[in-house]
């Protein structure tokens, strides 16, 4: 008996209930293995090719292709039902995902560039001031907008644009709030005859070491009109920030890295504008958040001293940069704003995440964990913000794993292991044939392998198990998650022991990081009011699995929430409301960075955490491993 949402697929319902149904094509309806018989109730069948007419008549459907309509009772063909069953309370808990969380901030529409429709009196022999003076005068008198300066490039266009529709024109003005002054300053960035036939937009982007994410925001409504993401093309120059810095210091390295990330961003610009049906010229600015290394490489700042003690960034507060200076395919009037960072390894992405999650303004003692390529942690509330980074590596983003990938169509995300046959039941993003495993999928699979005894607490595959799926590969033992015939790759998708080791080290780094940081404040994990998890996971992170492998602390599950890509969310908020961008500068200044790499306790904690879930089992009282066996 499982309660699920009406319209959910039968396969997903079974996955959540911990009821194993064989399924190896990821839910695409291709393998035909997930046939079940409907005993009562009804389900809407989407695809039926893989079910014979006779079987169909007998009530058989594909679980991955059947949407639930009301209460349904199904029978899973006997031959395939596992001997061992997952205990009910365990199954219940396995359904718990971190509560999805949106930013508590409600941005006001205060864009960095405002748009004003102006009707100025045409010149006459009694009033023949210059065009710039006429525009500035009208903005002040009719719109209370002053003081205004104008860029030469705009002034070059002004005479023809304003006369084209008899001095009815649209003026775009960049607003500078001038901290410490009540009166903002304005800079005329564009003048176009008549009304512009499209809304103003801005692009919010998260520049991750592994992935680039972008959202095109309508600045009139604050709505996202299109989203896009890409791998960061810099991956060709190294998986992590250190190897990127090393590359940057080679001849022309910095230029190449800069061009590569811009290439990726230009693709996102093209995709989001095309998909939203808005012209490129609608884009007024781009707000970027990224870690300090990514920010340096994007702006062409010298990165060498980021990785040499005492780890000093070249710059944190950069004025607006014309888009064209960076090679971005954006209109000439547009510019780029980059979130300020805190330190070499706590960047603008974390500041943006803190802005978005609202902890800077909250009473609750909060632990914020951003599981990106470089794991970062922030602990505190409105009175105190402590931060640290731990070199977790890109494993949780799928990086450095044989078949790891980011959360994109075809990524194996949901997984249920049959404790008897050791067969997996897999679910992919968008039901596409499997092409890899994303971060949340990896956490789910390792957790279950640990529970049913496929993997031991040292992160190695168990010996002598009766399954063809465990075999000797090129780099030690490996488990075949998806056979070549059912994958979208035409090759076996495997998880190797090297992959397991990568995950073990990544989760140990994260665990040691937040443990040390909390110790600095004098808190234990039990004293936390809440834990907010960020990261580019496919969907909400499965808490039970994440606690089971020792990534998240074993505290009451209701304290967890999952905010997704908070860096991107913060960038979007700042794009809509420039006052929030200014706020991010204050947040960055308020955050105190702790250099864990220089803290001996960090390494001790790290070593102790290289075990599943931990060498000190008492830290994870709710975790029981190998219990089905």
State the nearest-atom distance from the C-beta of 614 to its own copies, in Å. Answer: 30
Specify whether the CB–CB gap between 283 and 300 falls below 8 A: no
Q: Give the contact letters, 338-357, x = binds to its own copies (CB under 8 A), - = no.
A: ---x-xx-------------
**37, β-bridge pairs:** 60, 75
Nearer to its own copies, 168 or 304 (CB): 304
Tell the residue number behind the tokens 């529709």, with chain if given: 165
Residue in the structure block whose two tokens are 């009166």: 183
By CB under 8 A, which span of 28-36, 99-107, 313-321, 621-629 interacts with its own copies?
313-321
Q: Which tokens go with 608?
A: 């102790």
**Position 299 contacts its own copies (CB under 8 A):** yes
For the record, the structure tokens of 527 come out as 């004293």
What is the DSSP code (8-state) at residue 121? Answer: P
Binding status of residue 312 toward its own copies by CB under 8 A: yes
Which residue, 124 or 463, has its beta carbon nearer to its own copies?
124
Helix then strand count (H, E) for the chain reads 15, 26
* Three-state SS letters, 160-203: HHHHHCCCEEEEEEEEECCCCCCCCEEEEEEEEECCCCCCCEEE
Does 274 help bind its own copies (rule: CB under 8 A)? Answer: no
Rule CB under 8 A: is residue 264 a binding residue for its own copies? Answer: no
133 is a contact residue toward its own copies (CB under 8 A): yes
Using a 10 angstrom Cβ sphere, with 0-12 exposed, 13-18 middle and 19 or more buried, the burial of residue 293 is buried
Among 124, 144, 474, 490, binds its own copies (CB under 8 A): 124
Nearer to its own copies, 91 or 155 (CB): 155
Sign of CA dihedral 86, 90, 93, 97: negative
What is d(CA 302, CA 438) in angstroms, rounded to the nearest whole number?
33
Shortest reach from residue 88's CB to its own copies, in Å: 53
Residue showing tokens 């805190």? 342
Task: For the CB of residue 191, give the shortest distance to its own copies in the complex, in Å.
Answer: 11
Find the binder of its own copies among 2, 39, 58, 129 (CB under 8 A).
Answer: 129
Residue 149 interacting with its own copies (CB under 8 A): yes
CB of 585 to its own copies, least distance (A): 11
Q: Are strands 211-218 and 224-231 parallel, antiparallel or unpaired?
A: antiparallel
Complex with its own copies: residue 319 or 466, whichever CB lies closer: 319
Phi, psi of 363 (to 5 degrees): -80, -35
Residue 309 within binding range of its own copies, rule CB under 8 A: yes
Residue 300 is a binding residue for its own copies (CB under 8 A): yes
Judged by CB under 8 A, which of 87, 159, 409, 629 binds its own copies?
Answer: 159
Contact residue for its own copies among 143, 304, 307, 585 (CB under 8 A): 304
Binding status of residue 164 toward its own copies by CB under 8 A: no
305 binds its own copies (CB under 8 A): yes
Residues 391 and 307: beta-carbon distance below 8 Å: no
DSSP characters for 392-432? Answer: --SGGGTTTSTTB--S-TTEEEEEEE-TTT--EEEEEGGGP
Q: Could you tell me the CA-to-CA distances from 421 to 29, 362, 424, 452, 480 in Å, in that order?
A: 22, 49, 9, 11, 13
Taking the least distance from each CB to its own copies, the nearer of 300 and 399 is: 300
Counting contacts by CB under 8 A, is residue 595 touching its own copies? yes
Nearest to 593 by CA among 501, 487, 513, 491: 513
H/E stretch holding 246 reads: helix 241-248
The answer to whether residue 294 forms part of the interface with its own copies (CB under 8 A) is no
Which listed residue (255, 491, 598, 604) binds its own copies by CB under 8 A?
598
Interface region with its own copies, contact rule CB under 8 A, candidates 142-150, 233-241, 373-381, 490-498 = 142-150
Decide if residue 152 touches its own copies (CB under 8 A): yes
Smallest gap, in angstroms, from Cβ of residue 582 to its own copies?
A: 14
DSSP strand pairing (493-496 vs 530-534)? unpaired
Binding site for its own copies (CB under 8 A): 123-125, 127-134, 147, 149-152, 155-156, 158-160, 163, 180, 299-302, 304-305, 309-319, 321, 325, 341, 343-344, 595, 598
């Amino acid at each position: 008996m499982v309660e699920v949402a009406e319209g959910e697929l039968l396969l997903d319902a079974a996955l959540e209930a911990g009821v194993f149904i064989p399924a190896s094509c990821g839910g695409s309806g291709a393998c035909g293995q997930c046939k079940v018989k409907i005993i009562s109730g009804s389900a809407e069948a989407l695809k039926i090719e893989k079910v014979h007419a006779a079987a169909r008549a007998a009530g058989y459907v594909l679980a991955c292709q059947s949407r639930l309509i009301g209460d349904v009772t199904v029978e899973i063909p006997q031959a395939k039902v596992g001997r061992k069953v997952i205990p009910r309370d365990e199954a219940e808990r396995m359904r718990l995902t971190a509560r999805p969380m949106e930013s508590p901030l409600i941005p006001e529409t205060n864009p960095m560039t405002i748009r004003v429709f102006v009707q100025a009196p045409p010149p006459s022999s009694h009033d023949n001031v210059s065009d710039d003076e006429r525009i500035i005068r009208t903005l002040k008198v009719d719109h209370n907008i002053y003081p205004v300066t104008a860029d030469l490039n705009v002034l070059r266009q002004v005479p023809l644009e304003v006369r084209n529709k008899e001095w009815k024109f649209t003026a775009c003005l960049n607003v500078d709030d001038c901290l410490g002054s009540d009166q903002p300053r304005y800079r005329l960035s564009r003048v176009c005859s008549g009304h512009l036939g499209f809304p103003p937009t801005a692009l919010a982007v998260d520049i991750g070491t592994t992935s680039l994410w972008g959202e095109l925001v309508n600045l009139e409504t604050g709505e996202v009109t299109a989203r896009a993401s890409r791998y960061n093309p810099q991956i060709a120059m190294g998986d992590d920030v250190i190897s990127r810095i090393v590359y940057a210091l080679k001849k022309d390295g910095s230029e190449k890295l800069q061009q590569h990330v811009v290439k990726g961003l230009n693709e996102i610009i093209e995709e989001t504008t095309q998909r939203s049906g808005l012209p490129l010229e609608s884009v007024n600015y781009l707000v970027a958040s990224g870690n300090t290394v990514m920010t340096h490489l994007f702006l062409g700042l010298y990165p060498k001293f980021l990785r040499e003690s005492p780890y000093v960034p070249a710059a944190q507060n950069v004025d607006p940069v014309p888009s064209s200076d960076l090679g971005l395919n954006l209109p000439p009037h547009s510019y780029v704003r980059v979130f300020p960072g805190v330190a070499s390894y706590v960047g603008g992405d974390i500041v943006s995440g803190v802005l978005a999650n609202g902890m800077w303004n909250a009473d609750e003692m909060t632990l914020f964990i951003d599981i990106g390529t470089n794991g970062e942690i922030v602990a505190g509330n409105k009175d105190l913000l402590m931060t640290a980074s731990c070199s977790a590596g890109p494993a949780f983003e799928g990086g450095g794993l044989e078949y790891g990938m980011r959360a994109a169509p075809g990524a194996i995300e949901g997984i249920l292991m049959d404790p008897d046959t050791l067969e997996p039941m897999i679910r992919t993003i968008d039901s596409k044939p499997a092409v890899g495993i994303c971060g949340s999928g990896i956490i789910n699979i390792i957790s279950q392998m640990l529970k049913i005894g496929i993997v031991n607490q040292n992160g190695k595959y168990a010996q002598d198990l009766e399954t063809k799926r465990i075999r000797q590969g090129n780099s030690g033992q490996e488990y075949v998650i998806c056979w070549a015939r059912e994958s979208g790759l035409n090759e076996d998708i495997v998880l190797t022991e090297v992959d397991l080791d990568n995950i073990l080290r990544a989760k140990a780094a994260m665990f040691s990081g937040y443990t040390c940081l909390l110790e600095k404040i004098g808190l234990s994990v039990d004293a936390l009011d809440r834990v907010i998890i960020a990261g580019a996971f496919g969907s909400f992170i499965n808490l039970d699995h994440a606690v089971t492998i020792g990534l998240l602390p074993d505290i009451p599950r209701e304290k967890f929430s999952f905010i997704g890509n908070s860096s991107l969310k913060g960038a979007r908020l700042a794009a809509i409301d420039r006052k929030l961008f200014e706020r991010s500068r204050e947040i960055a200044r308020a955050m105190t960075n702790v250099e864990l790499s220089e803290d001996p306790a960090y390494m001790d904690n790290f070593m102790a955490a290289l075990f599943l879930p931990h060498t000190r089992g008492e830290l994870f009282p709710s975790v029981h491993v190998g219990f089905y066996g």
